[in-house]
A and B are shown apart, each in its own frame.
Chain A
Amino acid sequence: MARKRYTQAINDALFEEMERDPKIIVFGEDVELAIFGDTRGLLERFGRDRIRNTPICEATLTGMAVGAAAAGYRVVLHMMFSNFLYTGFDAIANQMAKLRLMTGGQLELPITIMSGYGGGRSNAAQHSDTPHSLLMNLGGVNVAVPATPADAKGLLKEAIRGRNPTFFMEASGRGGDSGDVPEGDYTVPFGKAFVAREGRDITLIAIGTMLKPTLAAAKTLEANGISAEVIDPRTLVPLDEESILRSVRKTGRAIVIDEARDRCSAASHIAAVLADKGFSSLKAAVKRITVPDVAMPYAPNAEAHVFPSEERIVTTATATARAA
């Protein structure tokens, strides 16, 4: 174990995997200098055949990832901000997510797409989105949402070694957060949720960036006499429904905290799963704490107004825990 920042954990995973497998290549806009710090140093170690800056042409980059994977490479494509997935979405939705089925299983696409998501830092509407639910809806791609440095390392390694396209959603605002990270070869399996805190009265399902304010809220709730269990799904596709249901069978109450816009968010999907498969355990309506269906504003006070906060989590959880 070592204390690492989230970004450093990602960087470690890339170094270790590229060292292990010469078929891994990394490309994207500005990956050589790495504005997020996550790909820093790879060029000096591995050279431009393994990591390379591309032109700004997202529609081509996502399609190239498909072609290079078809050519036998394990591709790590860095798309910088998640909003840029939109400009590259054709090949994501029409090729990457569908080619395996369309070709009758002939093509296997080991692709990892990294991108930073989330608001809270006045990056304004075009650099603050949390588009994981769009990806969840495609069918043929995995979606990983690591919340901690350890999971960032473990899930990234798992993604790179996997046989399917995976979106590795980097919590932009968590890059500097520190945590204990196992050294060396450490992977986290997909579809296995993490119980970040045990509790009896209510289940708080926190996605990605939302784990930190949710854990803080759980402490406050504890002081107020409410014992909250906090679950981090870690991957949204595949989703560990069983761990979520098991917790809700115990607590009977659930809130999903998600930085995506509310409509058709990961939160609304998980709420639907609970309504469908956990209905008999529920003592209160499942609540969602999300960003309202608006574009993320720039001004810090306006952004804070729509952003899921610790305070909102405490208020909603208190009401849900006390609902008859």
Chain B
Amino acid sequence: MTTTQTNTAPTPEQSMALYERMLLIRRIEEKLSADAAAGRLPGAVHLYIGQEAVAAGVCMQLKDTDWITSTHRGHGHFLAKGGEPRAMMAEIWGKRTGICKGMGGSMHVADVSKGILGANGIVGGGFAISVGAAFGAKLSGEGRVVVCFFGDGASNQGVFMECLNVSTLWQLPVVFVCEHNHFSEFTRAEQVTSGEIVNRARAFGIHTAVVDGNDVEAVWNATAEAVARARRGEGPCYIEAETYRIKGHMEFEKELLAGGKYRELEEIEHWRRRDPIDRWTATLLKTGVTNAAALEKIEARVSGIVADAVAFSESSEPADPELVFSLMFAGQRP
């Protein structure tokens, strides 16, 4: 682990913004979980609950002009990077007001205007896209940085090594953020992943950091350094954030697994006690950055945003099915 003495600690305003962003992701996803259980969503959702500190800590270090590539578990990245809750919710509901007009759904939420190049249904699908975007960023010389989110599962795709090689070779401004949440879908990491993933990045001699992914300040600080290096033209960095997927690979998995089990309740409880939002709340209260009344106000504001996004989605028209013919190509019918 590379440790660096940082003077990048979040200001009180930044600390509260991190808190609110994490809470927004959590509350939106709790609502999605409930709606999935009630059978109200057309497709599957892969929830991010428990990992919010990674998305918030990384994305809130980025500018709108910076790019991210995301994963199939992408709601947190989308919201953290500034995507609109309404537009995301309506997309998941399959409505024409969705950010992708209902053509992408949960696994493909993207908002290019906010630098969100898209969630991706292919595990590891974001690696090469982020490296290509970073190549463009480097050629343009506008100081853009690209963050590639991926999981421990994706680290076993060969394209990960290819992308470490090219981005190091060409000194591209990309930060690889590995969210080690301990599961490749329904399989435990130790069953499918050999060695330490960070060592794969170290083999290329790039800057690496391993942080507690449930500590938003640690993620924020590590990202500050990585992004600064990338922006200075010092090439790619790798951050590994250890976290835990509180929810399953997907909602409804109990039914799919038909009694099969890949983890124990005690393990989930152990990680619930390390909940990133609870921990950050405690820190903020202890350091006097906030108080109970202020937190209540934020909770109310976030509840309002969630309710508004749901009402917007419910009242929106279903997707326009004819769009499949006009959107497949630019200026051309399929």
Contact = CB atoms under 8 A, between A and B. Distances in A.
Interface residues of B, number: 53
B99 interface: yes
Interface stretch (B159-167, B202-210, B241-249): B159-167
Interface stretch (B123-131, B213-221, B309-317): B123-131
B133 A67 contact: yes
A225 interface: no
A54 B128 CA distance: 13
Which of A70, A94, A100, A238 is packed against the most chain B CB atoms within 10 Å?
A70
B191 interface: no
A55 B112 contact: no
A275 to B, nearest CB: 21
Given A55-B165, A106-B111, A101 B327 contact: yes
Nearest to A77: B132
Interface in A80-119: 90-91, 94-95, 99-108
Contact of B134 (A65, A67, A73, A106): A67
Contacts of A146: none
Nearest to A49: B139
Nearest to A75: B132
26 contacts: A59-B159, A60-B127, A60-B159, A63-B128, A63-B129, A66-B129, A67-B146, A68-B133, A72-B136, A95-B120, A95-B129, A99-B118, A100-B328, A100-B329, A100-B330, A101-B327, A103-B108, A104-B98, A104-B104, A105-B101, A105-B330, A106-B111, A139-B328, A142-B329, A164-B329, A164-B331
Nearest to A48: B170
A59 B162 contact: yes
Which of B100, B129, B135, B332 is packed against the most chain A CB atoms within 10 Å?
B129
A104 B113 CA distance: 13
Contacts of A60: 127-128, 131, 159, 162-163, 166
B110 interface: yes
Nearest to B157: A59
B166 to A, nearest CB: 6
B330 A163 contact: yes
B330 A57 contact: no
Contacts of A62: 128
Nearest to A141: B329
A94 B131 contact: no
A139 B324 CA distance: 11
B132 A64 contact: yes
Contacts of B328: 100-101, 139-140
Contacts of A164: 329-332
A103 B100 contact: yes
A71 B136 contact: yes
B74 to A, nearest CB: 12
B2 interface: no
Interface residues of A, number: 41
Given A63-B131, A67-B130, A25 B100 contact: no
Given A57-B166, A94-B125, A103-B112, A25 B104 contact: no
Given A57-B162, A68-B136, A90-B122, A139 B131 contact: no
Given A55-B169, A75-B132, A140-B329, 16 more contacts: A55-B162, A57-B162, A60-B127, A60-B131, A64-B166, A67-B135, A70-B112, A71-B132, A71-B135, A104-B98, A104-B104, A106-B110, A106-B113, A107-B110, A107-B112, A163-B331
Interface of B: 67, 69, 98-104, 108, 110-113, 117-118, 120-122, 125, 127-137, 139-140, 144, 146, 158-159, 162-163, 165-166, 169, 323-324, 326-334
Contact of B125 (A75, A90, A105): A90
Which of A62, A91, A102, A104 is packed against the most chain B CB atoms within 10 Å?
A104
A70 B117 contact: yes
Given A100-B329, A104-B99, A68 B162 contact: no
A71 B137 contact: yes
Contacts of B137: 71
Contacts of A63: 125, 127-129, 131-132, 159
Given A63-B159, A102-B108, A104-B104, A68 B330 contact: no
Contacts of A104: 98-104, 323, 327
Contacts of A103: 100, 103-104, 108, 110, 112, 118
B98 A72 contact: no
Nearest to A91: B128
B128 A59 contact: yes
A94 to B, nearest CB: 5
A68 B132 CA distance: 4
Contacts of B118: 99, 102-103, 107
Which of A49, A103, A238 is packed against the most chain B CB atoms within 10 Å?
A103
A73 B139 contact: yes
A114 to B, nearest CB: 17
A139 B120 CA distance: 19
Contacts of A105: 101, 323, 326-327, 330
Contacts of A99: 118
Nearest to B110: A103
A320 B59 CA distance: 66
B201 to A, nearest CB: 16
Given A67-B117, A100-B328, A54 B166 contact: yes
Interface string A129-163: 00000000001101000000000000000000001
Contacts of B166: 54-55, 57, 60, 64
B129 A106 contact: no
Given A57-B162, A60-B166, A238-B332, A70 B101 contact: no
Contacts of A90: 122, 125, 159
Contacts of B133: 67-68, 70-71
B111 A70 contact: no
A100 B327 contact: yes
A95 B144 CA distance: 22
